[in-house]
Amino acid sequence: MTVPPFHLAFPVHDLVAARAFYGGVMGCREGRSSERWIDFDFFGHQIVAHLIEAAGTDAGANPVDGHGVPVPHFGVVLGMAQWRALAERLRQSNVEFAIAPTVRFAGLPGEQATMFFRDPSGNALEIKAFDNPESLFATA
């Protein structure tokens, strides 16, 4: 499945920390930048960290398969091998998981590997993967 890249602009309170996290820890290539924002290649998608000193990011959580899922959040669906490699990279970087790498909906349509964590500004990210990519929107 070929998907056009999405674009997401989101607030951060520290561009140096954002650069270290998205560029260093996550391994995202940096694109254009200024003193107020940085573009990152987020697995083929364009995300832009905008410096907003007083930004709030946490609206709450919703229960999903026994976990409190942070809302709002953003992320990407990776292949399973890439997901596992990123999970290990995050562990090695001592990233604190809001929801540790796990399998959600085991044995059901839409079974997926998922993990949640926050960037240094508190933005919640979900990275997920499927053994079968056609399961992304499976309902039965």
Inside any domain, residue 43: yes
pLDDT digits (tens, 9 = 90+) for 57-83: 666 788 887 888 888 999 999 999 999
| Residue 55 scores a pLDDT above 70 | no
Give the separation between CA 116 and CA 69, rounded to whole angstroms.
8
pLDDT digits (tens, 9 = 90+) for 94-113: 999 999 999 998 888 889 99
**Residue 63 pLDDT:** 82
Give the separation between CA 122 and CA 56, rounded to whole angstroms.
8
Inside any domain, residue 17: yes
87: domain CATH number is 3.10.180.10
Inside any domain, residue 107: yes
Give the separation between CA 119 and CA 93, rounded to whole angstroms.
12
Inside any domain, residue 2: no
pLDDT category, 56, cuts 50, 70, 90?
A: low
Mean per-residue pLDDT over the chain, rounded: 91
- What's the domain count of the chain? 1
CB atoms within 10 A of CB 116: 22
pLDDT category, 139, cuts 50, 70, 90?
A: confident
**Residue 137 pLDDT:** 85
Q: Considering Cα of 73, then 75, then 77, then 80, what sign does the dihedral take? A: negative
Inside any domain, residue 1: no
**Residue 77 pLDDT:** 95
pTM to 2 decimals?
A: 0.89
pLDDT digits (tens, 9 = 90+) for 110-136: 899 999 999 999 999 999 999 888 888
Give the separation between CA 138 and CA 140, rounded to whole angstroms.
6
